[in-house]
Homo-oligomer: A and B are copies of this chain.
Amino acid sequence: MATRHHDLTDPAAAETAGPVTGEALAGYLRAQATEFLRALRLHRETGGPGAGAEGSVAAARALRRSARRITGSLHTYRPLLDADWSEEIRPELAWLSGTLAMEHAYEARLERLLTALQRLSGATTTPTEPLTGTTAARAGTTPKSRKTHPTRTTLIPPGAPAPATAPASATAPASATASASTAAPAPAPSPPPSTGTGTSTGTGPHPTAPPDRGNLTVGAAKAGALLERQLTLARTRAHSTALQALGSSRFHAVADKVALLASEVPLTAGAAGTDLRPLAAAAEERLSDAVAALPLVTAGHPYNAEALVHGLSPDPAPHPQDAPWHQVRLLLRLHRYAREVLHAGTEPVEVRLLQAGQALDRHRDASEAAAAAAQAARTPRIAPATAYALGVLHADQRHEVEAARYAFQRCWQKDRQERVPTS
């Protein structure tokens, strides 16, 4: 709390030190452009068109980071910048940062969903459990593997040979994964196929496995495998798209423009002496207005069950209620960048803004993860146990959405109460 109050009083002190002008904006943009070019050089040195190494991932992140800050500043301080130039470079930077973000987003989404599946399965799996193959496969997604390359550690590699020591039931997830990807017919429950792999998918009787037990654990494992397959595919595509983008002439044109920006910022006439604070205040006001339109009272009542209201809707994207929250997330980011320009890195980021932003990031991530679970459940010919696990997972993530709204509301209202006397 002490740190928080410290952060809250700092900006007031900085703001009384005199007007911040367009010069500061130019300095900020030059610094961000330089960051962009440094990240680009790092990316070329470490990664190139090959598979993304550690350094390459960090470089891509740094590229996005500076691209977001440049576009954000161009938006907030638009009147101070050459309009034609600004209108030209802004969508290009947004395209670049959006393209580069996708790979990481799919990776994080899969990570989030697999972690949730682990949590929902009650974590502790006894080593004596009959479904050793599935258990072993699930153990492959423990924190250890997540730290390195979470999405590359396949839960159950499609088409991989089953361990020789595993019982027959262990091959079921692999065969089901393969059948889902090749659109082969689902195992007919009666009579059982001679290979015996189809009877343990959770739909038919279990002649060898204990009846009913392990059914949903298989479901969780298969749901994980399905999500892994779908999101890894999406991530791989996003990776290729990002690589293509970084090699495209469109990208080189953006890079050239940013290189120019690093040395010369196209301010309008008189902008160098103009006070930035009214424009920053306008950005803050847009944020406040958007927050005021949010259903914060509802969000402040825990377990309002609002977030799951459309959980079984036939609409594949049935959550228009999420959109205003996503919008606030963007406006909060713009406000934060606008403040960075004002304070020129002389103060740490306000803790309240970070917390609110984290809550909204979590809101966005959970919302998209829930949609991915619902989407996976629409895969044709999945086993009922898989669909059940995806249903639980979907609902779990929608409750994460609700929890994130609650967290944002707490963070925001608390701050407002504290600020009322000083504003």
Is there an interface contact between B406 and A303, defined as CB atoms closer than 8 Å? yes
Is there an interface contact between A313 and B121, defined as CB atoms closer than 8 Å? yes
Contact mask for chain A residues 300-324; partner B; CB cutoff 8 A; 1 contact, 0 none: 0011010011111111101000000
Q: Which residues of B contact A122 (CB under 8 A)?
A: 309-310, 312-313, 318
- A395's partner among B217, B377, B385, B395 (CB-CB below 8 A) is B395
Pick out which of these stretches binds chain B: A18-26, A46-54, A186-194, A239-247. A186-194
- A204's partner among B123, B205, B380, B399 (CB-CB below 8 A) is B380
Top 7 nearest A-B pairs (CB, nearest first) are: A391-B391, A302-B302, A395-B395, A303-B403, A384-B387, A388-B391, A217-B314
Q: Which residues of B contact A302 (CB under 8 A)?
A: 302-303, 403, 406
Is there an interface contact between A380 and B189, defined as CB atoms closer than 8 Å? yes
Instruction: Provide the bound-state CA to CA distance between A188 and B120, in Å.
Output: 31
* B-binding residues in A (CB < 8 A): 117, 119-123, 129, 131, 183, 185-186, 188-190, 203-205, 212-217, 219-220, 302-303, 305, 308-316, 318, 374, 377-378, 380-396, 399-400, 402-403, 406
Q: Which residue of B lies closest to A301 (CB)?
A: B302
Instruction: Provide the bound-state CA to CA distance between A314 and B147, in Å.
Output: 27
- A384's partner among B205, B214, B217, B382 (CB-CB below 8 A) is B382
Instruction: Provide the bound-state CA to CA distance between A183 and B203, in Å.
Output: 11
Q: List 28 A-B contacts (CB under 8 A).
A: A121-B312, A183-B190, A185-B189, A186-B186, A186-B188, A186-B189, A205-B380, A212-B316, A214-B314, A216-B377, A217-B313, A303-B399, A303-B402, A303-B403, A308-B392, A312-B392, A377-B385, A377-B388, A383-B384, A384-B384, A387-B387, A388-B388, A388-B391, A391-B394, A392-B394, A392-B395, A395-B395, A395-B396
Q: Which residue of B lies closest to A302 (CB)?
A: B302
Q: Which residue of B lies closest to A390 (CB)?
A: B388
Q: Which residue of B lies closest to A315 (CB)?
A: B213
Whole-angstrom distance from the CB of A255 to the nearest CB of chain B?
40
Q: Which residues of B contact A314 (CB under 8 A)?
A: 129, 131, 213-217
Q: Which residues of B contact A213 (CB under 8 A)?
A: 314-316
Q: Which residues of B contact A393 (CB under 8 A)?
A: 391
Q: A190-B185, A380-B205, A396-B305 given as contacts; is B217 within 8 A of A312 (CB)?
A: yes
Additional 5 contacts, C-beta under 8 A, given A121-B312, A205-B380:
A186-B203, A384-B387, A385-B387, A388-B391, A395-B396
Q: Which residues of B contact A310 (CB under 8 A)?
A: 120-122
Instruction: Provide the bound-state CA to CA distance between A394 and B406, in Å.
Output: 22
**Most chain B CB inside 10 Å of its own CB: which residue of A213, A381, A387, A399:** A387
Instruction: Provide the bound-state CA to CA distance between A249 and B401, in Å.
Output: 57
Q: Which residues of B contact A205 (CB under 8 A)?
A: 380
Whole-angstrom distance from the CB of A209 to the nearest CB of chain B?
11
Instruction: Provide the bound-state CA to CA distance between A311 and B217, in Å.
Output: 10
Whole-angstrom distance from the CB of A124 to the nearest CB of chain B?
10
Q: Which residues of B contact A123 (CB under 8 A)?
A: 309
Instruction: Provide the bound-state CA to CA distance between A121 and B204, in Å.
Output: 29
Is there an interface contact between B377 and A312, defined as CB atoms closer than 8 Å? no
Instruction: Provide the bound-state CA to CA distance between A315 and B216, in Å.
Output: 9
Instruction: Provide the bound-state CA to CA distance between A107 and B382, in Å.
Output: 32
Q: Which residues of B contact A318 (CB under 8 A)?
A: 122
Whole-angstrom distance from the CB of A323 to the nearest CB of chain B?
16
